[in-house]
Amino acid sequence: MSTSPDILQDFGSLANVRIGLSAEVRAQGVHALNRLLAHTMAIRDAYKKAHWQTSGATFHQLHLLFDKHYGEQVLIMDAIAERVQTLGGVTFALAQDVVDESSIARAPRGRESALAQLSRLLDAHETILLEARPLARAAAEMGDDGSNDLIVSQVVRSNELQSWFIGEHLAAQSGKAQ
């Protein structure tokens, strides 16, 4: 238990919630979803950085696209965090959590070209998708239909669509099809 009287629930512990899933299934779901949450926080931040620092001939359309995708990632992030709480877990919430957990590459501090921004975002989407699909299957196999539905309907579908948009912009920027 926590050494601080202000901590209501230690990270890594499970609250006793009655949602028809065993503690083992809920613990596995919390771990998997927190990893997806860290990735989602990382890509959200990458989109905001790109939004603030985009430049060039496609500035306006990329500026708007990056902000739109940022907002969509915020919604996904919130849905994942709520699912973690529903399972009785404690969510990642801090920048250090993202650094410790996500394998999405951090962008440099400097301003990048539109091509570099688009490529970095496309790589980030692929990281999320490569991890999300097996996690969705595992959730389904364990009977965690709520987590499976969230991962498939929000994480996978949204990241696939955003990846497609980014890939199309990347193809236009580089002058070749993806």
SS (H, E, C) 2-63: CCCCCCCCCCCCCCCCCCCCCHHHHHHHHHHHHHHHHHHHHHHHHHHHHHHHCCCCCHHHHH
Domain boundaries, the chain: 23-174
pTM over 0.85: yes
Task: Report how far residue 110's alpha carbon sits from residue 41's, in angstroms, rounded to the nearest whole number.
Answer: 20
> pLDDT tens per residue, the chain (178 residues)?
556 789 999 899 999 999 999 999 999 999 999 999 999 999 999 999 999 999 888 899 999 999 999 999 999 999 999 999 999 999 999 999 999 999 999 989 999 999 999 999 999 999 999 999 999 999 999 999 999 999 999 999 999 999 999 999 999 887 754 4
CATH class of 23-174: mainly alpha
